[in-house]
Amino acid sequence: MEEWGTVFLTFTGAIYLIMMAYVAYRIKRSTESTRALVNEIKEIRKEESKPYVVVDIKPKEQSPQILEVKVANIGGGPAFNIKCNFQPDIVYRKEPRIMLSDLPIFKGLAHLAPGEQIRFFFAAAVEYMTNKNNPKEFDVKTSYTDIVGDAHEKSYHIDLTVTAALLFAEEKGVSDVVLEIERLTREVCWLRKNIESFLEKEVEPRRQDIGSLKGLYREMKK
């Protein structure tokens, strides 16, 4: 009996140790999974809180005849010390001679909040696009820092020929619609007047011929 008791205690002890080892293993795996999930959430939040500065040159929304430069922060965090460089660079102002990349806004803009954007005049669309000496494509490089001081660099390619059709589009408003309706009304009145005049010229000779033999013969054939 004592031997069986010893075997039983040994067996139950072994099972207990195995169960404890399994529980410890599961706890360890669960802890590792939780830690990995927490780290992943931290990385996602970190990415979402990063700034993302974009630079573009495009027609103005309400006036396509004007090209404007847009600098926007489409990220989730503020951007600091923003610098931009254009290649090829272009003369923004002739007198005094100032290149586009030398504008103060591109030499170190202090701060741009999430969702904030800055727009300013670049050139008259028709004048710029018809000048063969003006570059129509740009490579833009931006650099800035985030709220914790980490540096970021982005590169973009701007192609003005993609929106060339919009550059020469004529803006239409309510007044233009009214003018178009007035023009169509005048044309309809002119057409109606000419049709009535033509019909009167055709009917009048027939009335004059009714009293003559030729007229009576013509009426009989009808």
3 state DSSP class of 147: coil
The last residue of one of the domains, among 128, 145, 167, is 167
* Beta carbons of 88 and 135 less than 8 angstroms apart: yes
Residues 118 and 18 in one domain: no
Query: Which pLDDT score is estimated for 114?
Result: 93
Tell me the C-alpha distance between 151 and 145, whole Å: 4
The Cα 207–Cα 195 span in angstroms is 19
What residues make up the domain containing 142?
A: 53-167
Do residue 119 and residue 214 come from a single domain? Answer: no
Whether residues 93 and 120 share a domain: the answer is yes
- Give the count of domains, the chain: 3
Length of the chain: 222
Q: How far is CA 210 from CA 61, 159, 203, 221, in A?
A: 69, 76, 11, 12
- Taking the C-alpha atoms of residue 201 and residue 207, their distance in angstroms, rounded to an integer, is 11
Sequential pLDDT tens for the chain (222 residues): 556 556 556 767 677 677 777 777 777 777 777 777 767 766 666 667 789 999 999 888 888 888 999 999 999 899 999 999 999 988 888 777 888 899 999 999 999 999 999 999 998 888 888 888 888 898 999 999 998 889 999 998 999 888 766 655 555 555 666 677 777 788 777 777 777 676 666 555 555 554 554 444 455 445
Are residue 74 and residue 147 in the same domain, yes or no? yes
Is it true that the peptide bond before 114 is cis, omega within 30 degrees of 0?
Answer: no
